Amino acid sequence: MVDTESVNGSPVTPELEKAAERADSRRGFLLALPALGFLTLFFATPLVIVAIYSFATRNRFGGTDLSGWNLDSYRRLGEPIVRDILYRSLFLAFITTVICLIFAYPFSYYLATRKESVRNIMLVFVMIPFWTNFLVRNYAWRVLLGNGGPLSQATEAVGLGETSILFTPTAVVLGLVYGYLPFMVLPLYASIERIDWRLVEASRDLYASGWTSFRKIILPLSMPGVIAGSILVFIPSLGAYVTPELLGGAKTTLLGSYIVTQFLTARNWPAGAALSMVLMIVMLITTIIYFRKDGKTL
């Protein structure tokens, strides 16, 4: 918003306009300055420090030797232990995303095709678990799946015997799906709700079957939602720490937990820093691809 009329009524000259623009730019910068300063010091600087540490070496005393940069910490990605953890994390994050998609797509479709009054109430009931404390939601599953817990009691009563899926990868996936399902529902709902239903009507008028008009019209038009939702589920699942810690066992160490161990237990900061960088780069690449393709749907 650049004022085109000067306040005192004198004619607007290009010089005055330039000066006004400069003053405006200065004011904008000053408004941004507190946040910019804070984030530079407490976000950008930490980011640079992690990047530097990822090239450093751990010394014999558990400290870090900053001289003599090398790629050793990144080479550790090739070690079987780290590689297994990386593959397992990618695999579980992928499975979580697929399961979320399978349940969220029909759910969002149902939601988007309700009457507005019903739809708003249904949306509120999606928002409540979405905003509910994440730790508490994970803990609820710990109680539910526990030995002799409610689920076990239920399956025993039906005659299926005790269930013991706590501390297995299944429990981790269950917890991740529970935690991130709303991330899939909301963008899917947003993109399905926007569909011009006249297109679907037209296809039906031209004797397309329900399945054909779904495949040829609804699915392609809701693709932005599918992609956005998948990214929003996949990224946090890949870096998950709380869920695998609470619901997984020793054999299901994921990337997030492994990074934490490198810092708090193994005291190998360069290794932890390198893995954090890998996690962040994966995240950045996916986000950039997404924004390039379709930046406006979020």
Partner 1 sequence: MSSTTDPRGFSKAFLTANAWLVYLFFYAPIILLVVYSFSGDKLVGRWGGFTLDWYRAFAKDDNVQGALWVSVQVAIVSTLVSVVLGTLAALALERFKFRGQKVFDALLYLPIIIPDVTMAVMLLMFFSQFFNVIDSVLGLTLSKDISTVIISHIAFNISFVSIVVRARLEGMDQRLEEAASDLYASRWKAFRFVTFPQIIPGIAGGALLALTLSLDDVVIAQFVSGPGSTTLPVYVFGLIRKGVSPLINAVSVVMLVASVLLVMLSLLAQRNSEDKDQKVNDENEDDDQEVSSGSSSLSEMSIN
Stretch 208-247 residues interacting with partner 1 (CB under 8 A): 210, 213, 228, 232, 235-236, 238-239, 241-242, 245-246
Segment contacting partner 1 by CB under 8 A, of 69-77, 83-91, 156-164, 268-276: 268-276
What's the closest the beta carbon of residue 96 comes to partner 1, in angstroms? 14
* SS3 state of residue 188: helix
Give the separation between CA 28 and CA 45, rounded to whole angstroms. 23
Question: Residue 244: which of 231, 258, 257 has the closest Cα?
Answer: 257
Segment contacting partner 1 by CB under 8 A, of 77-85, 86-94, 124-132, 157-165: 124-132
Q: Is 124 in the site for partner 1 (CB under 8 A)?
A: yes
What's the closest the beta carbon of residue 282 comes to partner 1, in angstroms? 9
CB 277 within 8 A of CB 47: no
Give the separation between CA 292 and CA 171, rounded to whole angstroms. 35
Longest Cα separation, the chain: 90
CB 56 within 8 A of CB 270: yes
Cα–Cα–Cα angle for 139, 233, 106, rounded to 5 degrees: 100
* Interface with partner 1: number of residues (CB under 8 A): 104
Q: What is the DSSP letter of 77?
A: G
CB 109 within 8 A of CB 213: no
Site residues for partner 1, window 49-88 (CB under 8 A)? Answer: 49-50, 53
| Binding mask of the shown chain, residues 158 to 197, with x at each position contacting partner 1 by CB under 8 A | --------------------x--xxx-xxx-xx------x
Segment contacting partner 1 by CB under 8 A, of 75-83, 85-93, 156-164, 269-277: 269-277
Site residues for partner 1, window 35-54 (CB under 8 A)? Answer: 35-36, 38-40, 42-47, 49-50, 53
